[in-house]
Amino acid sequence: MNDSQARTDDSLQRRVPLAELALVFLKLGTIAFGGPAAHIAMMEDEFVRRRGWISQSEFLDRIAAASLIPGPSSTEVAIFIGQNKRGWLGLVVGGCCFIIPAAILVSLIAAVYVRFGSLPQVSGILYGIKPAVIAIILQALWKLSRTALKTRLLVLIGSIAIALYAFGLPPLAVLAIAGIASGFSAWWKTREAVTPAIVPFARLAIPSAAAAAIPVSLLWLFLSFLKIGAVVFGSGYVLLAFLRTEFVDHLHWLTEKQLIDAVAVGQFTPGPVFTTATFIGYIVAGIPGAILATIGIFLPGFVLVAGSGPLIPKLRRSPLAAAVLDGVVVGSLALMAVVTWQLGRAAIVDWPTLAILLASAALVFRFRLNSAWIIAGAGLCGWILR
């Protein structure tokens, strides 16, 4: 017992070589199918149980910290672990090596899509995948809402957020209103003064840029993804609302069809769902666009992980900040719900796509089949049908 504990302590203190850190995260980035929850489960098995790089309690703390800051939660857990083992170098190496395999694969798929996307074989695969993506998003929305909707007030805030976004309010404004409403309710109950911990969330009220269409610009592309990466709370699926507002409604650089195709590619590839940005960047501006979009969407996560150490304990101790965060999470789910409806209308176009949706929903809800297998099966069905 003492020997086992000594070995565990030795593993926790051991300085991990950068090459080993890089190889482990490259492996995870290559095989991590199934979304953020699956990614985190793989990391727990790899780093807590098998390698003993981090204790169970520290790992849970990293998950909690990642949920309190914008960005892709599973990627931020990877960045946290890299920082824990090798400081600044580990932060960069761990995060980049988890992202790079998916980014390369998505870029290759985007190149094929641009060249052959109109062929019947490819369009048939996407025809089947799109309704399966809707089923997977619905399952994620259901699971998250069961945790997030803890009170009647939060249910009401979520309903209002759905209505506000459906009637055209920008996503950032919806999140700001939801967070402020929940925070104000907590303040009213306790009559405590508003603490500085609320400031990072209040900044979400800054609206998006004007909706006028503009020519494609690499700088604008980078800044758009940088902005989105800095403010997206919740799961990777919330990203869809921001992408639609920015690139379909405001800039008019994407069509509705291209957006849902990008979502589908993000679903059936391993690694972070946020590599959807890589696909969009390639469609808009080729390889330079893919590189800049990937850097832009993930860079805020690296910065926030590096700077969130002193802030996270204060947020966790503040009832007011916790209430604001509850509101932001519920607002994020409202965005997910509206975007799911909008994408569903584009994906469910006939009886076969409805059948694929229902079958996929049964597999994901009832049998909890891995989303990668559902996507693969739906793509095969679509290819056969078309």
What is the number of other CB atoms lying within 10 angstroms of the CB of residue 226? 18
Residue 245 carries which side chain, given as an amino acid letter? T
> What sign does the dihedral 169-73-279-347 (CA atoms) show?
negative
Amino acid at 29: G
Q: Which residues contact 321 (CB under 8 A, 6 or more apart)?
A: 183, 195, 197, 198, 201, 314, 315
Q: How much is the average pLDDT of 285-289?
A: 95
Of the candidates 69, 76, 91, 12, the residue with the CA atom closest to the CA atom of residue 40: 76
pLDDT, residue 364, reads: 86
pLDDT at 14: 66
How would you label 258-286 residue by residue, b for 16+ Cβ within 10 Å and e otherwise?
bbbbbbbbbbbbbbbbbbbbbbbbbbbbe
Q: Note the pTM of the prediction, 2 decimals.
A: 0.70
What pLDDT does 194 receive?
A: 43
Confidence of residue 373 (pLDDT cuts 50, 70, 90): confident
- What is the pLDDT, as a whole number, of residue 78? 92
User: Which of 141-145, 242-246, 379-383 is predicted least confidently?
Assistant: 141-145
pLDDT of residue 201: 39
pLDDT reading at 95 higher than 90: yes
Q: What is the DSSP letter of 253?
A: -
- pLDDT for position 8: 47
- pLDDT tens for 42-54 read 888 889 888 888 8
Q: How confident is the model at residue 102 (pLDDT cuts 50, 70, 90)?
A: very high
Using the 8-state DSSP alphabet, how is residue 68 labeled? T
Backbone angles phi, psi at 232, to 5 degrees: -75, 115
